[in-house]
Structure 1
Amino acid sequence: MRFRLRPSDNSFYEFFSRAAQNLVTGTELLAELILPGADIQAISERLVEVEHDSDAITHDLYQKINSTFIAPFDREDIYRLGSNLDDVMDHLEAVGSLVYLYGLTKMPALPREMHEMVDVLDRQARVTADAMPRLKGLKDLEDYWVECNRLENEGDRAYRMLLVRLFSGEYDALTVLKMKEVVEELELACDSFERVANTVETIAVKES
């Protein structure tokens, strides 16, 4: 029988859960942002606030690692998971800022595929937030990373179709350039969610 000495301090898991809940807030704000008639400036500013809170959570997590003698699992994996969660939030905030700064919501309608990508991100955020509290027991996590990876594939399909639409001649060249930058950030957010799931899978395998 393998014996593992684990700390009773639950703060690591709380950091991960708080960071993941911020991602749910972030995707909810993005969904509001791309709706007709949205208060784009207020929503964009709120996204910046959530991103700053996520940065603070990551900073506190790193401080906790450096001041803790016994970590719940490999320190490298703790750093990686915290960093990956923060990366997702950075990309979500970038989407909000670009949509606002480029004035894209002044268009008659944003492409349907953009709404589909935001929907994928929202579902990834929710399964991630649901999984983080289960890290402590390292149980019932496989369905999470399988679903998150499946959603990433779904996001890839929407991304490719959106690129096809952007270069179909439907939009003028300047609009294409602006929207492509936003689309790339959406794709990076989707990929970052998958990296979070892959890190959780690595932790589960190591600790099993």
Structure 2
Amino acid sequence: MKLRLFPQEPAGLNLLSQLARQIVLASATMAEILGAPASEHDRLVEDMHNHEAKSGELHFALLTHMRTSFVNPLPREDMYGLSLCLNQAIEKLDAAAELVALYKLDRLPKRAADQLEIISRQAELTADAMRRLNNLDDLEDYWIETVRLAKRAERTHRIWVADMLKEMKATQYARNRDVANQLVDVTKDMRRIATQVGSIIVKES
């Protein structure tokens, strides 16, 4: 790992960790939505919107911090890329929640819970990794595990779609497919974050 010659400013890493933490909280809200009756959806979706709004605030706070801080723990383009992917991931979770409410989906297949379990695990790993970006030697396992989880999510998505095609009428299939696509796209964003961390590890080694 390259020797860093200047003291590191932890505020940027703290903001990235808080961004990842919003995905953890949003995943918990999404779990509530999946288990709640349709009458509760609007309230829970409002909670999800609040998570997404907080994520946007943190993203722009990080951009301001990078512009005004002389020393950053990582190159600005890497910090921006990580922040952007984190923010995009929660936007897709927010979209999935809103679709459940708009389509009045009372009960989603078990595959939805499987995908959410993967997202929650990726989010927990990522929140921890963002705090530890100043010690890249410890992050290779995070990189590998998050990519492994994303591959599992894509397999789950394919099976979910195949099951829906067999079991659902066209309109029901289209609505559930929209939610499924948003959830698998969250796992892809989390994979992009881990892949960028892997790129940083390679560059800094």
TM bucket by the smaller chain?
over 0.9
1:118-147 per-position Cα deviation (integer Å, ceiling 9, x unaligned): 111111111111222111222310110111
**Any residues of structure 2 matched to 1:32-111 within 5 Å, and which?**
32-37=32-37, 39-105=40-106, 109-111=107-109
The SS at the match of 1:167 is: helix
Structure 1 residue matching 2:58: 3-state secondary structure: helix
Q: Which residue of 1 aligns with 2:12?
A: 12
Is the aligned partner of 1:174 residue 2:175?
no
Deviation at 1:74, TM superposition (A): 1.4
What is the rounded CA distance, in whole Å, between the counterparts of 1:135 and 1:88 in structure 2? 19
Q: CA deviation at 1:70?
A: 2.6
Instruction: Give me the whole-angstrom Cα distance separating, in 2, the residues matched to 1:6 and 1:198.
Output: 26
Deviation at 1:3, TM superposition (A): 4.4
1:50-93 CA-to-partner distances (Å, cap 9, x unmatched) read 00000000001111111223322211111101101111111111
Alpha-carbon distance in structure 2 between the residues aligned to 1:100 and 1:6? 50
Partner in structure 2 of residue 142 of structure 1: 140
Paired residues of 1:29 and 1:43 also in contact (CA < 8 A): yes
Give me the whole-angstrom Cα distance separating, in 1, the residues matched to 2:141 and 2:91: 26
Give the direction of change, closer, same or farther, for the CA distance of 1:142–1:102 in structure 2 (3 Å limit). Answer: same
For residue 124 of structure 1, what is the aligned residue in structure 2?
122
- 2:30 — aligned with what? 30
Shift of 1:36: 4.4
Which region of structure 1 is more displaced relative to structure 2, 135-144 or 56-65?
Answer: 135-144
User: What is the CA RMSD across the aligned residues, in angstroms?
Assistant: 1.6
Q: Report if aligned partners of 1:44, 1:96 keep a CA contact under 8 Å in 2.
A: yes
What is the identity, as a one-letter code, of the residue corresponding to 2:142? Y
Which residue identity is paired with 1:156? E
Residue 114 of structure 1 is matched in structure 2 by 112
SS of alignment partner, residue 139 of structure 1 = helix
Counterpart code for 1:167: L
Aligned AA (1:179): N
Give 1:91's aligned amino acid. K
Q: What does residue 199 of structure 1 align with?
A: 196
Identify unmatched segments of 5+ residues in structure 2: none
Cα–Cα, structure 1 residues 6 and 120, in superposed 2: closer, same or farther, change >3 Å? same
> 1: distance between equivalents of 2:2 and 2:53?
41
The separation in 1 between residues aligned to 2:159 and 2:2, in whole angstroms, is: 49
65-74 or 120-129, which deviates more: 65-74
Letter in 2 for 1:203: I
| Count of aligned pairs between the two proteins | 204
Unaligned ranges ≥5, structure 1: none
- Residue range with higher mean Cα deviation, 1-10 or 154-163: 1-10
Contact residue 144 and residue 197 of structure 1 kept, 8 A: yes
